[in-house]
Amino acid sequence: MKTFKFIIKGQRYEIAVNESDDTHLEVDVNGTTYKVEVEHAATARKTPKLVRKPVAKQPGEGKLKKSEGGGFKVKAPLPGNIIKINVKPGDTVIKGQTLLVMEAMKMENNIQAEKEGTIKELKIKEGDSVLQDDVLIEME
């Protein structure tokens, strides 16, 4: 049984609906029972189901890209703003060391070195906005 409360032009209505079958209902309005026939049954709305399909990485896709000189490029994993840079050219870094912090989708993301190396060149400065796959740092 479903119950509803309405106020129409200042008049209160308390309605209880009992289903007897697909085409007939028993409706109680303020204590008076009515048997009603449904002309067109409403179709139930279905909630769409989200299906996530795995996306295969394209060859060469990722945060590090081997450059022509034998070094590596650290790329932005997603669009955002550079908040803090923790390294400078000539610094030696180890795997897992935080190179910089970027803000993306109102969250701070630490961009870490994926392997050991030396910082060759910074392609960004604090406050810069970057797009996904923009080169941030060149390492060797």
* pLDDT tens digits, one per residue of 77-106: 999 999 999 999 999 999 999 999 999 888
What confidence category does residue 71 fall into, taking pLDDT thresholds of 50, 70 and 90?
confident
Pick the CATH number of 64-139 from 3.30.110.60, 1.10.10.10, 2.102.10.10, 2.40.50.100: 2.40.50.100
* Secondary structure in 3-state letters for the chain: CEEEEEEECCEEEEEEEEECCCCEEEEEECCEEEEEECCCCCCCCCCCCCCCCCCCCCCCCCCEEECCCCCEEEECCCCEEEEEECCCCCCEECCCCEEEEEEECCEEEEEECCCCEEEEEECCCCCCEECCCCEEEEEC
* Residue ranges covered by each domain of the chain: 2-37, 64-139
pLDDT at 37 over 90: no
Q: 0.75 exceeded by the pTM?
A: no
| Whole-number average pLDDT of the chain | 85
> Residue 74's pLDDT is what?
92
